[in-house]
Chains A and B, each alone.
Chain A
Amino acid sequence: MTKNLVIAAALSLALTGGAMAADLPSTITFGSSMQLTGQDANLGRYYRDAYQLVIEQINKAGGVKIGGKSIPITLKLVDNQSDNNLAVRQYVGLVTQDKVDFLLGPYASGTTIPVSSVSEKYQIPMVEGGGASPQIFARGYKYIFGLLPPADDYFASTLTMLGQLQPKAHTVALVTADDAFDVSVAKGTKKLLAAAGMEIVLTQTYAAKTTDFSSIMAQIKAKTPDIVLWGGLEPEVLNAIRQAKSLDVNPKLLMSFTVGVPAADFRKALGNDANDAFGMTAWLPSPALKDTWFGDAEKFAAAYKAKYGYDPDYHGAAGAVAVETLVKAIEKAGSLEKSKVRDAIAASDFDSLYAHVKFNAGGQVVIPQIVIQIQNGQVTPIFTDKFIGKPVFPVPAWSKRG
């Protein structure tokens, strides 16, 4: 695939002619080490697909406009096999050997934390859409920028929505994994629940990658909470839903999950059991999200689906805009100088297919979560700060579903 991109880059180069300014290179290279095999391969490929699609699109439009010239982008993407040590070595290789100009992130916080040290060490900006852990942004690093919003207020919009629905929710079971991201989900959610005046009747933290939740389910059932808020990774959420069904666990109003629900293979794996699950996404393919290269998010989603055969979710959108953020910043800086581009990224302020990109002091974007629900096998947007769809609420018990 990379080879094709190189060819595409070379072609567009030939078409634009040899009118390059002397100090500008013939191509700008973005480098990334991604989980294409190994434990995290399932989500890693979303980013690979997004990076490739958006770079193709930008090159079609001539590439990066800088100093009156158009320079195509080349992507140098390597597989880190979900091995953090290899990922670090590969990023060092991308920077020192392949001499890539800028870096795109890998997937997942656990990998982003160590590799962000490489970008900091070599002072080369890295924009990532794969890690939201506060540990990435609390270190005072200047060269790492993240497009996934902080974990603290993932459930904020869900709770606001519940405040406007009848019957009212009073009691909550809060279940979270013990990985960095979900620990901060738990912390933030507890604050939000206190502010909303809801009572937590059950708090459970489980070890990340757990597959059996039957004990937790039994406890939820015993406490009969109004709502269950669940923060975990996608495979855990899949298991949790199947086990909730098989143990007939029915909170009075709803169950909501931080991740998984918007993903295409979540619905594929669960089939009908995915229905009525509440979740959230920072992104929906809405025509209201205008984009420089794709027109809008809806068109991006269509192009993505056409190329890869599955619907993009926020991972893909964040990955795509990681590329766009770099391109916008290079164009604004009018140079390939790392520190100038870094400052331009920090000052980002533009609309994109993913969201309005503007980084906070730590280098992370703040985007509210949109409440979604699976209805008839489709992701249905329900609530932003107001209702944009009709929820199935309260969610019927498993025994009463089709």
Chain B
Amino acid sequence: MNGRWFALAAAVALLAGVPWFGNAVLIQFGINALLIAVLAQSWNILGGFAGYVSFGNSVFYGLGSYGVAIAMAQWNLPFWVGLIFAATIAVAFAALLGWPILRLRGPYFAIVTLGISAAMSALASNLDIAGKNVGLILPLTRNDTLFYEASLVLLAAATLTVAWIARSRFGMALIAIREDEDAAASVGVNATRFKIAALAMAAFFTAIAGGIHAYWITYIDPAGSFDTTLDVRMVIMTMFGGPGTVLGPVVGALVLSAIYEVLADSISKAAALFFGIVILVAVIFLPRGLVDLGGGFRVLRWRYFLTNIRQYRI
């Protein structure tokens, strides 16, 4: 156990040092990859532990982006005030929205979240304060190290939160909800309260990630902020790494980001195509994620992949 903690601490220290020994491209890649890892990790709280698949977490990302952008561009407030504002509206939105939508189950929950994200995007393009569909311009900062370290701190905070969840009664309750919600309710788990709390936590981290991204890219518009491809990406990365685990989403996000970056760099024209193929292959051979591969492969060797297919095919 100690060895594992040591390895983790070393990995974090290594990541934190990137701005000093890495080049500018690595920092840019790091900012993007760390932020998407935050999204995957946040998604994991409700999606991985409680089994509630959201396809609309981009709504919190969008609220976060707009929170920071409105605070900075419209009201001339400093970045950190913008972040607080962004996190507040996102959490409030999650708490208010959670009550009606978290009664829905399975695909219906997934779709309602997707609908909310799309509706919010359309709404933002009609609001004057959000700059309508023209978008908002944020001031330029030259401090990429700040963005990088902020993203890393945020990811560490999200991961520590998930690590806590994994061993807490709260996490047990979420898992009970995932396995059998009705049974959980019958033994006295207040499912609604737990689910709303999980959604609010996800909203908090996702919104701050959106806020950091907005300031980094200096320009936001509705399509880029309430980006539905982001919803798909965070789910894919979590699935790829291993949902309902502490490190799975982070590993999944960083590995997939790296694959995508290498592809975009080397076979520019067909990068997206190969990315799609990677997903297809991963779903077929690794249905429980990259994290499951380690244990499974040790026991079963190459039969691990066949066993996966046998289990789910018809």
List residues of chain A with CB under 8 Å of any chain B CB.
36-38, 78-79, 81, 84-86, 88-90, 92-93, 95-97, 110, 113-114, 117, 120-121, 135, 138-139, 141, 178-180, 183, 207-208
User: Closest Cβ of chain B: how far from A105's Cβ, in Å?
Assistant: 15
Question: Which chain B residues lie closer than 8 Å to A183 at the CB level?
Answer: 132-134
A-B contact pairs, 23 of them (CB 8 A): A37-B271, A37-B272, A78-B268, A79-B264, A79-B268, A79-B269, A81-B264, A85-B217, A88-B217, A89-B25, A89-B32, A92-B28, A97-B24, A97-B25, A110-B221, A113-B137, A113-B218, A121-B142, A135-B134, A138-B137, A178-B133, A180-B134, A183-B134
Distance between Cα atoms of A141 and B140 in the complex (Å): 10
**Contact, CB under 8 Å: B135 / A135:** yes
* Binary CB contact string for chain B from 37 to 81 against chain A (1 if under 8 A, 0 otherwise): 000000000000000000000000000000000000000000000
Interface flag for B29 (CB, 8 Å): yes
Question: Which chain B residues lie closer than 8 Å to A139 at the CB level?
Answer: 137, 140
**Contact, CB under 8 Å: B272 / A89:** no
* Binary CB contact string for chain B from 272 to 313 against chain A (1 if under 8 A, 0 otherwise): 100000000000000000000000000000000000000000
**Contact, CB under 8 Å: A178 / B25:** no
User: Closest Cβ of chain A: how far from B207's Cβ, in Å?
Assistant: 18
**Given A89-B29, A135-B219, A207-B125 in contact, is the A81-B134 Cβ separation under 8 Å?**
no
Determine the main DSSP class of B at the interface with A.
helix
* Minimal Cβ-Cβ distance residue in B for A139: B137
User: Closest Cβ of chain B: how far from A103's Cβ, in Å?
Assistant: 15
**Given A89-B25, A114-B219, A117-B218 in contact, is the A207-B122 Cβ separation under 8 Å?**
yes
**Contact, CB under 8 Å: A85 / B272:** no
**Contact, CB under 8 Å: B271 / A79:** yes
**Contact, CB under 8 Å: A89 / B28:** yes
Question: Which chain A residues lie closer than 8 Å to B142 at the CB level?
Answer: 121
* Binary CB contact string for chain B from 230 to 267 against chain A (1 if under 8 A, 0 otherwise): 00000000000000000000000000000001001100
Q: What 8 A-B pairs are tightest by C-beta distance, nearest first? A: A96-B24, A178-B133, A79-B268, A180-B134, A113-B219, A93-B25, A89-B28, A117-B218
Cross-chain contact of B134 among A85, A141, A179 (Cβ < 8 A): A179
Question: Which chain A residues lie closer than 8 Å to B25 at the CB level?
Answer: 89, 92-93, 96-97
Interface flag for B19 (CB, 8 Å): no
Question: Which chain B residues lie closer than 8 Å to A121 at the CB level?
Answer: 140, 142
Q: Tell me the number of A-to-B contacts counted with CB atoms below 8 Å.
A: 83
* Minimal Cβ-Cβ distance residue in A for B36: A85
Interface flag for B224 (CB, 8 Å): yes
* Binary CB contact string for chain B from 146 to 170 against chain A (1 if under 8 A, 0 otherwise): 0000000000000000000000000
**Contact, CB under 8 Å: A84 / B224:** yes
List residues of chain B with CB under 8 Å of any chain A CB.
23-25, 28-29, 32, 122, 125, 132-135, 137, 140, 142, 217-219, 221, 224, 261, 264-265, 268-269, 271-272
Most buried by A among B134, B140, B269: B134
Question: Which chain A residues lie closer than 8 Å to B140 at the CB level?
Answer: 117, 120-121, 139, 141
Distance between Cα atoms of A338 and B140 in the complex (Å): 20
User: Closest Cβ of chain A: how far from B233's Cβ, in Å?
Assistant: 11
User: Closest Cβ of chain A: how far from B205's Cβ, in Å?
Assistant: 19
Distance between Cα atoms of A139 and B219 in the complex (Å): 11
* Minimal Cβ-Cβ distance residue in B for A134: B134
Distance between Cα atoms of A181 and B268 in the complex (Å): 29
Question: Which chain A residues lie closer than 8 Å to B268 at the CB level?
Answer: 36, 78-79
Distance between Cα atoms of A121 and B125 in the complex (Å): 29
**Given A84-B224, A114-B219 in contact, is the A178-B24 Cβ separation under 8 Å?**
no
**Contact, CB under 8 Å: A96 / B134:** no
Distance between Cα atoms of A81 and B274 in the complex (Å): 13
Q: A89-B261, A117-B217 are in contact. List 17 more A-B contacts (CB 8 A).
A: A38-B272, A81-B264, A84-B224, A86-B264, A92-B24, A92-B25, A93-B25, A93-B28, A95-B24, A97-B24, A110-B221, A114-B217, A114-B218, A178-B132, A178-B133, A178-B134, A183-B134
User: Closest Cβ of chain A: how far from B116's Cβ, in Å?
Assistant: 18
**Contact, CB under 8 Å: B269 / A37:** yes
Question: Which chain A residues lie closer than 8 Å to B221 at the CB level?
Answer: 110
**Contact, CB under 8 Å: B272 / A97:** no
* Minimal Cβ-Cβ distance residue in B for A89: B28
User: Closest Cβ of chain A: how far from B37's Cβ, in Å?
Assistant: 14
User: Closest Cβ of chain B: how far from A250's Cβ, in Å?
Assistant: 30
User: Closest Cβ of chain B: how far from A48's Cβ, in Å?
Assistant: 11
Question: Which chain B residues lie closer than 8 Å to A141 at the CB level?
Answer: 140
Distance between Cα atoms of A38 and B264 in the complex (Å): 13
Question: Which chain A residues lie closer than 8 Å to B134 at the CB level?
Answer: 135, 178-180, 183
Distance between Cα atoms of A79 and B268 in the complex (Å): 6
Distance between Cα atoms of A180 and B269 in the complex (Å): 29
Question: Which chain B residues lie closer than 8 Å to A180 at the CB level?
Answer: 133-135
Question: Which chain A residues lie closer than 8 Å to B217 at the CB level?
Answer: 84-85, 88, 114, 117
Distance between Cα atoms of A35 and B79 in the complex (Å): 31
User: Closest Cβ of chain B: how far from A14's Cβ, in Å?
Assistant: 28
Most buried by A among B24, B29, B122: B24
Question: Which chain B residues lie closer than 8 Å to A178 at the CB level?
Answer: 125, 132-134
